[in-house]
């Protein structure tokens, strides 16, 4: 009998030890603000549900008090914003609806301790929380688009997956001078504290961060920055036909571009699509008249266009643009502006008669040039020069 009790005791002890060893260890969370609740993928705060600092568009820099998170939400269920300190949930708050901004659309809330948030439709939502003002803005992502030079500086809508967590756009031509941004609902930003005259703005668009586009093989990862400048690749060996993809990962979007083909010239150098012209404040006009260059010839892939005598007046500003449109234009770029076949600047002798003015080519002194030559490789459009010949 004693032996039997000893066996039973050993089995019980083993079971207890096994239960203790299998008990799930509590996830270690950093101090911060989290999204959680039945409407979200996270019933309780999780490492993947922490809100991220973002750019205040009104201040033009990342704000420590402006947080955002993109998340799939289920209609008819609730969620909250939780504060975690020392791995413990200190508070959970919801909100009371203050107003609706139908243009985006977005709902604005004032915080309510112990309250909840909810949405009327399933979908991916952009949640913004300004911690000092105590303001919460919730906007549904209805569409995502690429806005850029290849689309005439308009929006090309991406195709959404069924769950709204992935967006794709195929057959995007990326030349070496192409520029673009990505945005949702065709908006650039929204006011957090007010829609008419906000002191705090959250971006609904992404531009280029510090690292630009980082390539591994034929796939590049865009370093996205909310409200950042235009994204570009700036390299002839990277230009091509791409598929753009936006994936939602832990509350933020990850953008990639995968090369699927090469850029080839469509049409001919002397057709309307490749017509080049001066436009600006030159020749008595004011950014309202195209002064066409004449196509001459193409040698070894480089096309030559010329313009006859051109009299500049000091402070004239201009660019060269393609097809009488702003989709592709050529402004001031060091090393690309020549005078009598030479690259000049402020330090050379003679000094250059041209300078940068916000991307425009600015004339420094009155001068007449007998001929202008513009050369460009249409298979790599960053390979261009404009030569002003006296």
Nearest Cα to 92, choosing from 161, 155, 173, 38?
Answer: 38
- 101-118 pLDDT tens trace: 998 999 999 999 989 999
State the pLDDT at residue 42.
Answer: 97
pLDDT confidence band for 25 (50 / 70 / 90)? low
The 10 Å Cβ neighbour count of residue 301 is 12
Q: Where in the chain is the domain with CATH 2.60.40.3620?
A: 32-140, 272-389
pTM higher than the cut 0.85: no
pLDDT-derived band at 342 (thresholds 50, 70, 90) equals very high
- pLDDT of residue 11 exceeding 50, the answer is no
Among 9-18, 195-204, 233-242, the least confident range? 9-18
Separation CA 45–CA 55 (nearest Å): 24
pLDDT score for 24? 54
Q: What percent of the chain has pLDDT over 90?
A: 81
- CB-CB contact of 316 with 282 (8 Å): yes
pLDDT of residue 20: 46
In tens, the pLDDT along 168-202 reads: 999 999 987 789 999 999 999 999 998 888 999 99
Beta-carbon count within 10 A of 265 CB? 15
Q: How far is the CA of 138 from the CAs of 188, 191, 254, 277, in angstroms?
A: 16, 12, 20, 46
- CATH architecture, domain 272-389: Sandwich (2.60)
Q: Which of 233, 250, 136, 216 is nearest to 178 (CA)?
A: 233
pLDDT of 19 reads 47
Helices (H) and strands (E) in the chain, counts: 1, 33
pLDDT number for residue 4: 45
> What is the phi/psi pair of residue 2, to 5°?
-60, -40
What is the 8-class DSSP label of residue 15? H
Query: Alpha-carbon distance 64 to 143, whole Å?
Result: 28
> CATH for 32-140?
2.60.40.3620
Residues 6 or more apart from 299 whose CB is under 8 A from it? none
Q: What is the mean pLDDT of residues 371-378?
A: 95
Q: Which CATH number fits domain 144-261: 2.60.120, 3.10.20, 2.60.40, 1.10.510?
A: 2.60.40
| Across 11-20, 179-188, 292-301, 303-312, least confident range | 11-20
Q: Do 319 and 289 meet the contact criterion of CB atoms below 8 Å apart?
A: no
């Amino acid at each position: 009998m004693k032996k039997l009790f000893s066996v039973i005791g050993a089995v019980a002890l083993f079971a207890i030890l096994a239960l203790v060893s299998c008990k799930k260890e509590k996830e270690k969370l950093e101090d911060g603000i989290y999204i959680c609740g039945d409407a979200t993928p996270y019933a309780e705060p999780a490492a993947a549900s922490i809100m991220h600092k973002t750019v205040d568009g009104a201040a033009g820099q990342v704000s420590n008090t402006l947080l955002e998170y993109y998340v799939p939400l289920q209609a008819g269920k609730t969620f909250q914003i939780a504060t975690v300190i020392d791995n413990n949930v200190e508070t959970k708050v919801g909100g009371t609806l203050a107003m609706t901004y139908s243009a985006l659309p977005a709902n604005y809330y004032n915080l309510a301790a112990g309250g909840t948030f909810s949405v009327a439709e399933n979908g991916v939502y952009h949640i913004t929380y300004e911690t000092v003002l105590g303001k919460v803005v919730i906007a549904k992502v209805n569409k995502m688009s690429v806005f850029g030079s290849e689309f005439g500086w308009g929006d090309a809508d991406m195709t959404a997956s069924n769950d709204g967590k992935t967006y794709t756009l195929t057959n995007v031509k990326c030349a070496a001078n192409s520029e673009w941004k990505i945005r949702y609902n065709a908006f650039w930003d929204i006011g957090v504290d007010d829609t008419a005259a906000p002191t705090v703005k959250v971006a609904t668009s992404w531009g280029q961060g510090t690292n630009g586009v980082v390539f591994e093989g034929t796939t590049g990862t865009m370093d996205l920055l909310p409200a950042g400048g235009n994204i570009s690749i700036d390299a002839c060996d990277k230009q091509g036909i791409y598929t753009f993809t936006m994936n939602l990962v832990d509350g933020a979007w990850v953008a990639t571009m995968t090369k699927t083909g090469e850029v080839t010239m469509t049409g001919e150098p002397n057709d309307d699509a490749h017509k080049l012209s001066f436009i600006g404040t030159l020749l008595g006009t004011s950014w309202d008249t195209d002064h066409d260059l004449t196509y001459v010839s193409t040698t070894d892939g480089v096309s030559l266009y010329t313009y006859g005598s051109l009299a500049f007046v000091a402070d004239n500003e201009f660019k060269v643009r393609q097809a009488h449109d702003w989709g592709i234009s050529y402004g001031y770029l060091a090393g690309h502006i020549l005078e009598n076949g030479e690259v000049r600047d402020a330090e050379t002798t003679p000094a250059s008669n041209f300078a940068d003015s916000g991307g425009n080519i600015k004339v420094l002194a009155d001068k007449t040039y007998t001929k202008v030559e513009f050369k460009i490789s249409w298979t790599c459009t960053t390979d261009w020069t404009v030569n002003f010949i006296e």
